[in-house]
Amino acid sequence: MTDLLYSKLAGVGHLFYKFYFPHEKIAFIIDGYLKKFNCKKIVFFGALIYAAKILQSRGYEITFVDYTKEMVDEAKKVLQNTKFVVSDMRTLELEEKQDAIVLMGRILTYMYTDEDVLKAFSAFKNNLKDSGIIVVDNYEISKIDKGGYFNGIIEVKDKNLTIRRISKISRQKNQPAVYKWDCIYEKAAKGEKEIFEDKNHILRAFSKDEMEELVKKSKLKFIGNFPNFEERSFITVAQK
């Protein structure tokens, strides 16, 4: 597949996430649910590759999945002893059943209709062992656009690299709650500057009640909605 949302942004996106996100804290939160439900074999979706690495160092057997080959290639540079799969979440079909499916990094934000969410949940169910769990985080309606993450300038850097992300978010629709986000990454490394444009990026936010209802419709067992590592999003846990 080419030209998916993150095909051209995987490199700069995952570097931005590398410096920006509190991976230890995120891995700690995920680890809590995995331990509680005795999970060992897990599917890890998306761009928080360094959180996956921490979980791997704690003994979890990881299958890393993204629908862009580019993000999977970035993960291959960081994760060892890992299975890598390029797949859309709605059509996930793995050879072995898993103990948990982890979607942290607000990836369900790209399921713009309830039908899409239910397709994804149905695929997750088919790839889980009995009593397996899903751990999914989501932006929350009317909190997604607060603070500076999708509005304004964020700069991350180390001694070799600076990334400035300049962005603006606006609400497009109420039901489902869909937001348009325009963003530019300016990357400066070794005296060279590169610009990556990410315009008309559509994000969906959910309410906690909406997630509970969608989980119940999917016939997964709703375990609960819980706090995330930051205020604008929440975690939902459900069980097969």
Residues within the interface to ligand SAM (CB under 6 A)? 5-6, 13, 45-47, 66-68, 71, 88-89, 105-107, 109-110
Query: Closest separation between CB of residue 123 and ligand SAM, Å?
Result: 10
Which lies closer to ligand SAM via its Cβ, residue 45 or residue 234? 45
Q: Contact, 221 vs 128, CB < 8 A?
A: no
Taking the complex as a whole, how short is the minimal distance between the CB of residue 128 and ligand SAM, in angstroms? 17
In the complex with ligand SAM, the residue whose CB is nearer, 6 or 33, is 6
CB-count burial class (<10 Å; 0-12, 13-18, 19+) for 176: middle
Closer to ligand SAM by CB, 53 or 106: give it. Answer: 106
What is the closest distance, in whole angstroms, from the C-beta atom of residue 110 to ligand SAM in the complex? 4
Considering the complex, what minimum distance in angstroms separates the CB of residue 98 from ligand SAM? Answer: 15
- What are the angstrom distances between the C-alpha of 219 and each of 53, 131, 136, 150, 195? 31, 13, 16, 33, 44
* C-beta closer to ligand SAM: residue 66 or 145: 66
Q: If 0-12 CB within 10 Å is exposed, 13-18 middle and 19+ buried, where does residue 68 land?
A: buried
Say if residues 212 and 195 touch (Cβ distance below 8 Å).
no
Of 96, 127, 89, 131, nearest to 111 (Cα)?
Answer: 89
Tell me the closest approach of the beta carbon of residue 198 to ligand SAM, in angstroms.
9
* Rounded Cα gap, residues 118 and 128, in angstroms: 15
| CB closer to ligand SAM out of 205 and 215 | 205
Q: In this structure, what token pair is assigned to residue 3?
A: 């030209």
